[in-house]
């Protein structure tokens, strides 16, 4: 071996030996894992059956769960906002600390826990009670001292924990003025402009006007009214004199499986709406959505103004003054054979557009057009007669007393579409050589 090679080998051995010596003297230090934050409270949420929230200077709030539904029992019995209470029970069921301050503190005074700023009593199934005490904030202000009354240990929890339990009765009460079940509604009665009118459901589960007489309703308008009634909530309490001194806008009664709920809405000169509901005591300011939905509404506001019901469900058969057009697959056949599908579709579109501008008591004029339309999987049959009286057009559906007054332009557009029905022409074949 050459001297240079020997020297290189010796150097490698020295380096390896030094490395071994270093790691023997400095063994690998394991990185400590951060222990999980200790739990202050840990219990299944479904085991919580009662809450008592108390803080100095105000009456305690007591909540009880009966048949899986929360109620406010004190300071006054009333329905509770289920979502608001669930937020509290969810926070309590697994309340983690930031850190443990002291296992056995000599005194609780320094933590503000001798006279807690908040106390939350948690009643579990079986009747046992766990008391959570919240004290003063830490010097940094980011945390709050907390402990269970039954245990000596003091923890810190994020300061937002305190605000999550700092609730008033108004925060926790059910603010709905009409707490009906939308899926169980069977009837709606409205009194606003003119006589009262009512809605009920037919055998198909569709809303219909039942009073003052049976009429087709506009389901979109009825659903919108129900949504506004369902969303009506207390704003702030109002004085009885404010309600009494305002003008009556309307009254609505909704009946579901639990009984009728009635709300009456008044509007003051400054446009403020006030409401009184059979579901809760007192008078309340009301957001304008429901007030606007009731104001100046009569039965015609909720009538179905469309002459035909087939909507976007294209017909399979159309009879135009005795000329019958039948659909077979993608083809339309008329009295003289196959017709252009586009020209029939134009007629269908115009039939779909026929809508009342207002309603009349009786038909006028002489018959101008008789229409029948068959549509849908169940072959729904609709028959309509249109009369012409001067420049006006009245229409009536078979079996219904309602008279629909049509816009003359809409009728003229239908007539032009009917005149435009043309025979089918096969596409021309390009015979030119490429």
Residue spans of the domains in the chain: they are 39-172, 182-302, 315-419
Work out the average pLDDT over 14-32. Answer: 50
Pairing state of beta strands 129-137 and 143-148? Answer: antiparallel
DSSP string, 70-117: EEEEESS-EEB-HHHHHHHHHHHHEEE-SEEEESS-S-SGGGT-SS-S
260/290 Cα distance (integer angstroms): 18
Q: Within a 10 A sphere around the Cβ of 194, how many other Cβ atoms?
A: 13
**Which are the contacts of 120, defined by CB distance < 8 A and separation ≥ 6?**
51, 52, 53, 54, 92, 131, 132, 134, 165
pTM attached to this predicted model: 0.74
What's residue 229's pLDDT?
96
**The CATH number of domain 315-419 is 2.60.40:** yes
What's residue 29's pLDDT?
47
What's residue 45's pLDDT?
92
CATH of 182-302, one of 3.30.720, 3.30.310, 2.40.50, 2.60.40: 2.60.40
What's residue 377's pLDDT?
81
Contact 316/379 with Cβ under 8 angstroms? Answer: yes
What's residue 130's pLDDT?
94
Q: Is the pLDDT score of 37 beyond 90?
A: no
- Output the six-digit token pair for 373: 């339309």
281/79 Cα distance (integer angstroms): 12
The closest alpha carbon to 341, from 355, 354, 357, 329, belongs to 329
Q: Is the pLDDT score of 166 beyond 70?
A: yes
- Output the six-digit token pair for 53: 């929230």
Same fold, 39-172 and 182-302: yes
Q: What percent of the chain has pLDDT over 70?
A: 90
State the helix-helix crossing angle for 408-419 and 341-353, rounded to 10 degrees. Answer: 170
Q: Within a 10 A sphere around the Cβ of 203, how many other Cβ atoms?
A: 5
**Which of the four pLDDT bands, split at 50, 70 and 90, describes residue 433?**
low
Task: State pLDDT tens for residues 282-338.
Answer: 999 997 689 999 999 999 999 999 999 987 778 999 999 999 999 999 999 999 999
What's residue 36's pLDDT?
64
What's residue 31's pLDDT?
47
| Element of type H or E holding 255 | strand 247-256
What's residue 427's pLDDT?
84
336/339 Cα distance (integer angstroms): 8
Per-residue 3-state assignment (H helix, E strand, C coil) for 128-182: CEEEEEEEEECCCCCEEEEEECCCCCEEEEECHHHHHHCCCHHHHECCECCCCCH
Half-sphere exposure (CA, 13 Å, Cβ side) for 18?
6
428/434 Cα distance (integer angstroms): 16
Task: State pLDDT tens for residues 231-242.
Answer: 999 888 999 999
132/147 Cα distance (integer angstroms): 6
122/52 Cα distance (integer angstroms): 7
330/97 Cα distance (integer angstroms): 69
Pairing state of beta strands 154-158 and 99-102? Answer: antiparallel
CATH of domain 39-172: 2.60.40
**Which are the contacts of 377, defined by CB distance < 8 A and separation ≥ 6?**
none
End-to-end CA distance of the chain: 87
216/398 Cα distance (integer angstroms): 13
What's residue 1's pLDDT?
42
| Element of type H or E holding 184 | none
């Amino acid at each position: 071996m050459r001297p240079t090679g020997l020297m290189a080998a010796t150097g490698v051995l020295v380096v390896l030996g030094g490395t071994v010596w270093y790691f023997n003297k400095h063994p690998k230090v394991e990185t400590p894992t951060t222990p999980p934050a200790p739990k202050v409270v840990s219990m299944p949420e479904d085991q919580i059956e009662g809450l008592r929230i108390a803080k100095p200077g105000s009456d305690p709030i007591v909540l009880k769960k009966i048949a899986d539904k929360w109620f406010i029992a004190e300071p006054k019995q009333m329905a509770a906002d289920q979502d608001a209470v669930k937020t509290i029970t969810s926070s309590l069921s697994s309340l983690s600390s930031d850190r443990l301050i002291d296992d056995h503190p000599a005194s609780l005074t320094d933590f503000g826990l001798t006279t807690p700023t908040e106390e939350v009593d948690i009643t579990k199934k079986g009747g046992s009670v766990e008391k959570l005490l919240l004290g003063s904030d830490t010097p940094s202000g980011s945390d709050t001292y907390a402990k269970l009354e039954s245990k000596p240990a003091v923890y810190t929890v994020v300061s937002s924990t305190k605000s999550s339990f700092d609730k008033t009765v108004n925060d926790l009460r059910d603010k709905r003025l009409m707490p009906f079940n939308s899926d169980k509604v069977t009837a709606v009665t409205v009194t606003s402009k003119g006589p009262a009118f009512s809605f009920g459901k037919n055998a198909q589960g569709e809303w219909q006007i039942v009073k003052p007489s049976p009429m087709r309703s506009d389901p979109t308008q009825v659903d919108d009214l129900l949504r506004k009634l369902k969303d009506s909530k207390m704003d702030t309490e109002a004085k009885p004199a404010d309600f009494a001194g305002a003008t009556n806008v309307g009254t609505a009664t909704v009946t579901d499986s639990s009984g009728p709920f009635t709300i009456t809405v008044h509007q003051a000169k400054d446009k403020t709406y006030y409401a009184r509901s059979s579901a809760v005591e007192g008078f309340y300011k009301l957001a304008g959505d429901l007030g606007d939905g009731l104001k100046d509404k009569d039965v015609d506001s909720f009538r179905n103004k469309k002459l035909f019901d087939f909507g976007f469900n294209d017909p399979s058969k159309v009879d135009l003054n005795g000329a019958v057009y039948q659909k077979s697959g993608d083809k339309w056949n008329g009295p003289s054979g196959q017709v252009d599908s586009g020209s029939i579709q134009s007629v269908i579109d115009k039939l779909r557009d026929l809508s009342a501008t207002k309603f009349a008591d009786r038909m006028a004029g002489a018959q101008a057009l008789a229409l029948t339309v068959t549509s849908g999987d169940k072959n729904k049959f609709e028959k309509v007669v249109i009369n012409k009286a001067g420049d006006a057009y009245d229409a009536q559906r078979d079996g219904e007393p309602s008279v629909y007054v049509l816009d003359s332009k809409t009728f003229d557009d239908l007539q032009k579409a009917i005149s435009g029905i043309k025979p089918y022409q096969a596409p021309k074949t390009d015979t030119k050589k490429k």
